[in-house]
Structure 1
Amino acid sequence: MAIKDKVRVQTMKDQAEWLLHNIIPRHVADSIKSTAKYSENHKDVAVMFASIVNFNELYDEDYLGGKEYLRVLNELVADMDELLSQDEFKNIEKIKTIGSTYMAAAGLDAKVRAENTDAHQHIFELVEFALAMQKVIDDFNQDLIEFNLILRIGLNFGDVTAGVIGTTKLYYDIWGDAVNIASRMDSTGVPGRIQVSGACAAILNRRYELERRGPVFVKGKDNMDVYLLKGRKDDT
């Protein structure tokens, strides 16, 4: 009986750990266990917003109360989440989904960044994650012929503040000008393309072909020089 109780308690503990790590990042959860609160400033964090621009057009509440479209959205987000289990995306942290927009960031775990041989490796990894998301969308559209989902991605990097809000229903998020610009890179972007800020383009130019789009009006920033990703240099 003692052995069974020990196994049951361990199982419950493992389930609680799994649930906690799916709500907030593992390195944040470890900090909260000892301090009960968490906030941290991070430099040069890469931030990405990816929106399914035509989801609202496809959504039809008259068809099964909209449940079928939410099921499709859930399957798609689950496919994107599955990418995070790959070792090449160990720097990537999903922040949240906002409707049909997927928000992720890279470079929030200091220990993982310390292992990187390139100071900008996490930025490159977020771009690769964005490219992988485009493939997920393409594969999804091929499997479901009646859907033609279009993904628009915006990417930026800079200093952010990360923190956990609340004592119940914990909420992990990141804030900062870099986050706002990343969001604008998405909202002002081109459907089916990855748009990045000029500062981001200067880094990505080492490995990727970029197309200058020119000045684009960005709320709170006036006109910003932005670029569209064409592909990896070795591919092009």
Structure 2
Amino acid sequence: MNEFSIPENENMRLEALLSYDVLDTAPEVSFDEITELAAEILQCPVSFIEFMDADRQWFKSKYGLPEDYIETPRDLSICNTVICQGDLLCVPDLTDDERFRNNPMVQSAPNIRFYAGAPLITPNGQAIGTICTVDFEKRELSINRREALRKLSKQVMTQLELRRTLIDVNRLIHEQKKLSLSINKEKEKADNLLSRILPPEVSRELQENDRVEPKYIDECSILFTDFVGFTKLTETLAPKTLIDLLHQVFCQFDKICKKYSVDKIKTIGDSYMCASGITKNKKDHTIRLCMAASEMVDYLKKANAQRAKLKMPTWEMRLGIHTGPIICGVVGDDKFTFDIWGDTVNTAALMEQNSIPGRVNISESTYLRVKSEYKFEERGEIVTTKKGPLKMFFIVASESS
């Protein structure tokens, strides 16, 4: 490659050129119309808009040139002189100008003779390209046509600035869409997390109103589970093993609750608490909770059978259910929780405490609501300080089985 002149501000000029993001882009009508207009006004067979890169001139628009004529080396470019001087250049006869007479494009095909080019100057004064016309015969250019070429160069820069503005706007729109998508994804994650912490209806109310109105539920059913001898297990099992097993069991209980539209309330240590009839499907809440309890027992029996084969300690679980009124709501700002209160909760806990491993122990109020659905084993009464004697029943099997 032959040596060529470069302007003193070459690095700044190249940075300005790159900022327009125009190199190696597709043809655009707005530039092609100006190129065609230049050829018409100057009465030349060829015109083009080119941008001067570090070592090439690249044609953004061209009139009278082959489609595959995309770029030429910078050292062959007459336009480079325009870039360096930063002003319009008009050469009536290139063969009579010592600067250009030895240029291969002048000496041989396409044998250009006439050249006129005006620089494309950015608002910061950087010449990043040119709009040019050439002819294959020598000619003179009138003052009016020179001025027209200068005006066309300004029109090119106006289009270029508009193009950059549109690119920036589209980029901002794209970034806004990405940000909006990211926010929606994060909101979806937050909503999913919230729905895993709270019952769905409670979660929706909290999202819509920023608070949950406390409610009195005149009737629902509460279930407690508890593992017998769990404290001893904590002394014999490695912490990770213990938590992993507890996690596995409680995850299965979660699935069972979802299956029967039962709301998980919370876990307290090794105790699992859930309720039916608080948020939906209140008519058959008791039977659904009893079905969930029976499935929990069946699941643990199968798990214990497998553990026994492997000579691993089994997990023995008591279950208790009671039906009655409660109050429910969300409490706290940090680490808030949905909870339920009332004597029904305490009685359900008593049913669990007075059960035996592998059995579902229910109160009389629960029994009265499902007595036609199951066979039962009457257990007699327990005496409580505040409520007096309470009848208890074991669920034996459903009538259908």
- Alpha-carbon distance in 2 for matches of 1:189, 1:220: 20
Q: CA deviation at 1:85?
A: 3.5
Alignment partner of 1:232 is 2:398? yes
- Alpha-carbon distance in 1 for matches of 2:391, 2:285: 23
After TM superposition, the structure 1 = structure 2 runs for residues 149-164 of structure 1, keeping only pairs within 5 Å, are: 149-164=315-330
State the identity as a percent.
25
Q: CA deviation at 1:71?
A: 1.7
- Alpha-carbon distance in 2 for matches of 1:138, 1:27: 33
Q: Which of 246, 260, 275 in structure 2 is aligned with 1:73?
A: 246
Cα distance, 1:57–1:222 mapped onto 2, change above 3 Å = farther
Q: CA deviation at 1:219?
A: 4.6
Using the size of structure 1 for normalisation, the TM-score is 0.88
Alignment partner of 1:124 is 2:287? yes
Aligned residue number for residue 82 of structure 1 = 255
Deviates more, 1:171-180 or 1:137-146: 137-146
- Letter of the 2:210 counterpart: A
After TM superposition, the structure 1 = structure 2 runs for residues 209-220 of structure 1, keeping only pairs within 5 Å, are: 209-220=375-386
Aligned length: 223
- Segments of 5+ residues of structure 1 without an aligned counterpart are 114-118
Using the size of structure 2 for normalisation, the TM-score is 0.53
Alignment partner of 1:137 is 2:300? yes
The 8 Å contact of residues 23 and 170 in structure 1, kept in 2 or not, is answered as no
After TM superposition, the structure 1 = structure 2 runs for residues 87-236 of structure 1, keeping only pairs within 5 Å, are: 89-90=260-261, 92-110=262-280, 112-113=281-282, 119=283, 121-145=284-308, 146-235=312-401
- Letter of the 2:234 counterpart: Y
- Alpha-carbon distance in 2 for matches of 1:5, 1:33: 21
Aligned residue number for residue 228 of structure 2 = 53
- Letter of the 2:203 counterpart: A
Cα distance, 1:165–1:75 mapped onto 2, change above 3 Å = same
Q: Which runs of 4+ in 1 moved over 6 A?
A: none
After superposition, the C-alpha distances for 1:46-94 in whole angstroms (9 at most, x for unaligned) are 1000111132222226x53x332122111111111122332xx12x000
| CA root-mean-square deviation | 1.7
Aligned residue number for residue 183 of structure 2 = 9
After superposition, the C-alpha distances for 1:181-207 in whole angstroms (9 at most, x for unaligned) are 111000111222111111211111110
The 8 Å contact of residues 184 and 218 in structure 1, kept in 2 or not, is answered as no
- Alpha-carbon distance in 2 for matches of 1:211, 1:135: 18
Q: CA deviation at 1:100?
A: 1.0
- Letter of the 1:205 counterpart: K
Q: Which has the higher contact order (CA 8 A, sep 6+)?
A: 1
- Alpha-carbon distance in 2 for matches of 1:78, 1:54: 21
